[in-house]
Amino acid sequence: MLMRLFFTQLFASERKQIAFMTDEKSPARISHRLFVTSRSEKRIIMLEHLMIAEQNILLWLQNNMRNDILNHIMIFITSLGNAGAIWIIMAVGLLIPKKTRKTGIMVISGLLLSFIINNIILKNLVARTRPYDMIAGLTSLVGIQSDYSFPSGHTASSFVAAVIMLGNLPKKYGIPAIILAFLIAFSRMYVGVHYPSDVIAGALIATAIGLFVNWVGKQGEQVI
């Protein structure tokens, strides 16, 4: 019992620093793994491994992919998603022709719903610190962001709009919208302002919202 108590206390102390540990062969890491017994501790270890993996991905992108040309391209792509600007412009454009007016209304509705769920509720509920504030050596190419990290608002607004457009417009418009959504999502990691899990969560939540809006739209057609 004394030994178990000792290693439980040791685990609690080391857990604060493990996010910065990358040497899997270190004595501290080996000792830590040997005495993990409870389910909650195993979950913590899984989360810590995820954190380390995400740090490594972002640092790899910074150290191996960034260059002057690609930096300018990615900064431009990520700026398209600022406040959902590109998608709002597209939605307004869809409102003009009568044939696509309903799709424009659906896109605006999806963007509004995504903003409420992701930017207002989840970001402030999770309150995850931006990666450039947590990962030593990681820099942001677009400056300091004013809100929290999880989930990615740029990714969410992009995917909710693209999913709605894909479901209601010809593929020649819907598929490019999806491609643009993926590019904006990737750019958020490239410029160093989001963890991969922020981007994945934003895409999944937004896809669900987009499918819901599409379903509501189809239900409305059946009623009419």
Q: Output DSSP code: residue 130.
A: P
53/115 same-domain check? no
Residue 39: per-residue pLDDT: 72
- Do 200 and 156 fall into the same domain? yes
Residues 132 and 216 placed together within one structural domain of the fold: yes
CB 163 within 8 A of CB 111: no
If asked whether residues 32 and 134 sit together in one domain, one would say no
- 38/76 same-domain check: no
**pLDDT for the residue 25:** 54
Do 111 and 214 lie in a common domain? yes
For the chain (length 224 residues), average pLDDT per consecutive 10?
42 43 52 58 83 95 96 97 96 95 96 97 96 95 95 97 96 96 98 97 97 89 56
Judgement on whether residues 75 and 41 belong to the same structural domain of the protein: no
Task: Tell me the C-alpha distance between 180 and 107, whole Å.
Answer: 15
Q: Are residues 49 and 75 in the same domain?
A: no
Q: Structurally, how many domains does the chain consist of?
A: 2
Domain housing 138: 67-223
211 and 168 together in one domain: yes
Q: Are residues 92 and 40 both part of a single domain? A: no
Count of other CB atoms within 10 angstroms of residue 115: 17
**Which residues, 6 or more positions from 51, have their beta carbon under 8 angstroms from its beta carbon?**
19
Model pLDDT, residue 28: 52
Residue 157: name the closest of 217, 105, 94, 113 by CA: 113
Whether residue 108 sits in one domain with residue 6: no
Task: Identify the CATH number of the domain in which residue 71 sits.
Answer: 1.10.606.20
Contact 166, 188 (CB under 8 A): no
Contacts 24+ apart (CB under 8 A), 213-216: 213/106, 213/109, 213/110, 213/113, 213/160, 213/164, 214/106, 214/163, 214/164, 214/167, 214/168
Task: Answer yes or no: do 92 and 25 share one domain.
Answer: no
What's the pLDDT at 55?
95
In sequence order, the 6+-apart residues with CB closer than 8 A to the CB of 17 are none
Q: In the numeric block, which tokens belong to residue 135?
A: 């990962």
**Amino acid occupying residue 81:** G
What is the per-residue pLDDT for 168? 95
Give the whole-angstrom CA distance, residue 200 versus residue 153.
11
pLDDT (0 to 100) of residue 47: 83
Residue linked to tokens 């999944």: 204
